[in-house]
């Protein structure tokens, strides 16, 4: 039977505290956006994931979620109306659901997914103002994100909690150009800055140098093109060489947020320099 759970300020429910046995990754932060569905990996069986919000929750809608511990729903939830948070725990692995959270006159969609190994203990949602959405990330900050991405593996080893705040993927997508290929090696996403950092390997298969325009590097996702905001590359591939290109995409061309996932199918655009054979 399909059920819909609805909570209002007039209802009072109990809240179960976190147990000492909880095993989870770390706190994650997400910007509130009514046009975006964030995916939050939640604990399974033991412990709970706490979802925090910047204002009081007026209502919650869900389907495969129950407040009754004896119910065999996919997820168990505790909610105290008027508070800034609620908790979710998956009863079994492999389940997922979408929860609608009402804050004032806005409704936000959150997809919760059971995660045995990479659950988040606390998911903290924050509001982004129109000014923050339109403001560009400074060149110094972009350079800092490039440097942080280059040290990502050391960061994971020595500061795992900080590394868990960064989304990372290794697409290994190979794009073929005349005389060279471009392999999308790594992609990182920095949520607060709405910025993605790319590491692309260019392999020249010819016996001649290939020059390319670093200031015109971009990525295509579907029909949209996102130009690089900063590029770290020499602009030339010597014969039979492999050269790395690091660049960042920040925001969208219209001045808003891009909210791009690292798991997109990336098409990297590497224009040749005019006259380069």
Pair 251, 163 in one domain: yes
**For residue 137, is pLDDT > 60?**
yes
Pair 102, 143 in one domain: no
In sequence order, which residues have a C-beta less than 8 Å from that of residue 92 and are 6 or more positions away? 44, 45, 74, 114
Q: How far apart are CA 25 and CA 254, in angstroms?
A: 35
Summarize the confidence of residues 4-8 as an average pLDDT: 40
**Sole residue written with tokens 């993927």:** 169
Summarize the confidence of residues 195-207 as an average pLDDT: 97
What's the burial of 84, exposed, middle or buried (CB within 10 Å: 0-12/13-18/19+)? Answer: middle
pLDDT for the residue 236: 96
> Does the residue 148 lie in any domain?
yes
Domain with 97, as residue range(s), is: 5-127
Summarize the confidence of residues 220-225 as an average pLDDT: 88
Pair 117, 191 in one domain: no
In a 13 Å sphere around the CA of 77, the CA atoms on its Cβ side amount to 25
Pair 122, 140 in one domain: no
Structural domain ending residue among the three candidates 127, 145, 176: 127
Give residue 276's Cα distance to chain centre.
37
- Give tens-digit pLDDT for 62-82: 989 988 888 889 999 999 888
Q: How far apart are CA 33 and CA 129, in angstroms?
A: 11
> Does the residue 274 lie in any domain?
no
> Does the residue 276 lie in any domain?
no
What's the burial of 105, exposed, middle or buried (CB within 10 Å: 0-12/13-18/19+)? Answer: exposed
Pair 162, 84 in one domain: no
**For residue 26, is pLDDT > 80?**
no
> Does the residue 70 lie in any domain?
yes
What's the burial of 117, exposed, middle or buried (CB within 10 Å: 0-12/13-18/19+)? Answer: exposed
In sequence order, which residues have a C-beta less than 8 Å from that of residue 79 and are 6 or more positions away? 7, 13, 15, 57, 60, 67, 86, 87
Pair 113, 176 in one domain: no
Say which CATH number the domain at 195 has.
2.60.40
Better-scored residue on pLDDT, 37 or 26: 37
Structural domain ending residue among the three candidates 67, 93, 127: 127
Structural domain ending residue among the three candidates 81, 112, 127: 127
For the whole prediction, is pTM greater than 0.75? no
Domain count, the chain: 2
User: Across the chain, what does the average pLDDT equal?
Assistant: 85
Token pair of 3 as six digits: 């059920």
Integer angstrom CA distances of residue 23 from 39, 180, 259, 263: 19, 46, 29, 26
Lowest average pLDDT, out of 29-33, 95-99, 148-152, goes to: 29-33
Pair 85, 207 in one domain: no
Pair 121, 62 in one domain: yes
pLDDT for the residue 10: 37
């Amino acid at each position: 039977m399909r059920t819909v759970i609805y909570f209002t300020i007039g209802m009072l429910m109990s809240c179960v505290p976190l147990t000492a046995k909880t095993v989870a990754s770390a706190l994650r932060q997400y910007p509130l956006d009514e046009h975006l569905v964030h995916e939050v990996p939640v604990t399974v069986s033991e412990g709970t994931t706490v979802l925090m919000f910047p204002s009081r929750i007026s209502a919650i809608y869900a389907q495969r979620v129950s407040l009754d511990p004896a119910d065999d729903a996919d997820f168990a939830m505790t909610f105290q109306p008027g508070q800034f948070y609620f908790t979710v725990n998956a009863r079994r692995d492999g389940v997922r659901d979408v929860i609608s959270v009402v804050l004032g006159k806005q409704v936000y969609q959150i997809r919760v997914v059971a995660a045995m190994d990479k659950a988040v203990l606390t998911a903290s949602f924050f509001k982004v103002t129109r000014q923050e959405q339109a403001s560009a990330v400074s060149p110094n900050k972009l350079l800092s994100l490039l440097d942080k991405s280059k040290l990502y593996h050391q960061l994971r080893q020595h500061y795992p909690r900080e590394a868990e705040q960064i989304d990372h993927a290794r697409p290994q997508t190979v794009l073929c150009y005349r005389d060279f290929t471009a392999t999308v090696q790594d992609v990182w996403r920095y949520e607060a800055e709405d910025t993605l950092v790319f590491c692309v390997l260019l392999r020249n298969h010819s016996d001649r140098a290939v020059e390319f325009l670093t200031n015109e590097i971009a990525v295509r996702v579907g029909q949209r093109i996102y130009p690089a905001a900063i590029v770290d590359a020499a602009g030339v591939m010597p014969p039979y060489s492999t050269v790395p290109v690091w660049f960042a995409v920040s925001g969208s061309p219209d001045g808003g947020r891009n909210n791009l996932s690292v798991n997109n199918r990336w098409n990297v655009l590497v224009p040749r320099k005019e006259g380069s054979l």
